[in-house]
A and B are shown apart, each in its own frame.
Chain A
Amino acid sequence: NAGVTQTPKFQVLKTGQSMTLQCAQDMNHEYMSWYRQDPGMGLRLIHYSVGAGITDQGEVPNGYNVSRSTTEDFPLRLLSAAPSQTSVYFCASSWTGGNSAEAFFGQGTRLTVV
């Protein structure tokens, strides 16, 4: 059981480049989300989805796009990377049925924008 899989693990981008961070889960979870983690800031929610075809903005959505065409996948797109987007990105998934659902996290993607 793979759980939540993120790719790539590391990425270096030049300012202005675009890229997609991939996230896939094999637990049939309805709820998926993207976070960024910066030193001293904790995990901040970027975008989330409560099911296929449904997405919503979190705390820090600017500069990021998402889509949810399937239950399994929830890619995060950076259209024009900026140095301020240098961070570690985590994808998470959980059941939506029941408030006690545990969030399962991927291993993270360390992104550096130069």
Chain B
Amino acid sequence: KNQVEQSPQSLIILEGKNCTLQCNYTVSPFSNLRWYKQDTGRGPVSLTIMTFSENTKSNGRYTATLDADTKKSSLHITASQLSDSASYICVVKNSGNTPLVFGKGTRLSVIA
């Protein structure tokens, strides 16, 4: 069964600190993986996309990694800001015209 598991479920960090969120998936055959950020009361917005051949991709203070062999991805946030407080959702797409597979998300709270 195609599944996406995220950890931790929630995380609280101090402003300025770094953190890493994890995503493991069993989706096959794999096409791509996206990390979305969802602010409270809003729809998710894509942060970055990882395809099979990509290992690392950065978007400002966000850096995503992908190990397609072990089916693991991570999202590293550097020098966190209060505005980073949100849910981060890992979403995997398999080949073909099939629906996306969503993780349940990690709820990140950045406190002063």
Contacts and interface: CB of A to CB of B under 8 A. Distances in A.
Interface string A57-99: 0100000000000000000000000000000001010001001
B99 A42 contact: no
Nearest to B4: A42
Nearest to B105: A42
19 contacts: A4-B43, A40-B104, A42-B89, A42-B104, A43-B89, A43-B102, A48-B99, A50-B97, A90-B44, A99-B32, A99-B93, A100-B32, A100-B51, A100-B93, A102-B49, A105-B45, A107-B42, A108-B42, A108-B43
Interface string B33-53: 010000001111110010100
Interface centre among A4, A44, A50, A105 (most CB of B within 10 A): A105
B79 interface: no
Interface string B91-112: 1010111011011110000000
B107 to A, nearest CB: 10
Interface string A101-113: 0110111100000
A101 to B, nearest CB: 8
A103 B49 contact: no
Interface string A16-54: 000000000000000001010000111111001010000
Contacts of A41: 104
A103 B47 CA distance: 11
B32 A58 contact: no
Given A42-B105, A99-B32, A58 B99 contact: yes
Nearest to B103: A42
Contacts of B102: 35, 42-44
Contacts of A96: 97
Which 4 pairs from chain A and chain B are nearest by CB? A105-B43, A42-B104, A99-B31, A43-B102
B35 to A, nearest CB: 11
